[in-house]
Amino acid sequence: MSDTLAGGCQCGAVRFRVERLGRGSICHCRMCQKQFGAFYGPFVSGYGVVWTRGAPKWFRSSNKARRGFCADCGTPLTIQNDGLPTDEIELAIGAFDDPARAAPAIQVNPKDKLPFVDGLPGLHTRTAIEDPEQEAFNASVVSYQHPDHDTTAWPPEGARDA
């Protein structure tokens, strides 16, 4: 495993490197739910962020913050709150090449937390034995996503639709 803290979007058009991480969080606000199309937004504070390929497109989601995403594939990448130091930016944990290095330590904005979120760990997990057709489908998938490491060139020949 590399010591480099890096990541990027799904298609590889935007890549970043970070000098160090701060505290990871899960935000339950409605704006984060919409940004991720999910139940919450997982972020970690990044310091010394450098965009190593491309740059995010920005959407001002409120009078207090703007959100960055890949203009090509739509991957959510960041939220930048007004008034924070310019070297601090919140990065989407799932956009890191090794997201396990940025585990959340706190949940924020519980007022908007969806009522079923706390019960998710108790849901039944369907195993490969229970669903062999799904397992066979998964095994047949060829991913065109950018790999979880930096590359000198992307995409590879034939990976993107015209």
In order along its 162 residues, the chain shows pLDDT tens digits of 457 899 999 999 999 999 999 999 999 999 999 999 999 999 999 999 999 999 999 999 999 999 999 999 999 999 999 988 877 899 999 999 999 999 999 999 999 999 999 999 999 988 878 888 888 888 888 888 888 888 887 776 655 554
Please state the domain count of the chain.
1
pLDDT of 153 reads 76
- List, in order, residues 6 or more apart from 9 with CB less than 8 Å away: 15, 69, 70, 72, 73, 75, 77, 95, 146
Residue 151 lies in a domain: no
3-state SS class at 85 = coil
Backbone torsions φ then ψ of 120, nearest 5 degrees: -55, -40
pLDDT of 69 reads 98
Residue 160 lies in a domain: no
Q: How far apart are CA 82 and CA 52, in angstroms?
A: 23
The CATH number of residue 107's host domain is: 2.170.150.70
Residue 145 lies in a domain: no
Residue 133 lies in a domain: yes
In order of 27, 94, 101, 124, 143, the CA distances from 110 in angstroms are 8, 21, 24, 25, 35
Residue 158 lies in a domain: no
Residue 14 lies in a domain: yes
Following CA atoms 110, 108, 3, 148 in sequence, which dihedral angle do they give, to the nearest 10 degrees? 50
pLDDT of 160 reads 57
pLDDT of 1 reads 45
pLDDT of 156 reads 64
Residue 51 lies in a domain: yes
The parent domain of residue 79 ranges over: 5-140
Q: How far is CA 16 from the centre of its chain?
A: 12
Residue 40 lies in a domain: yes
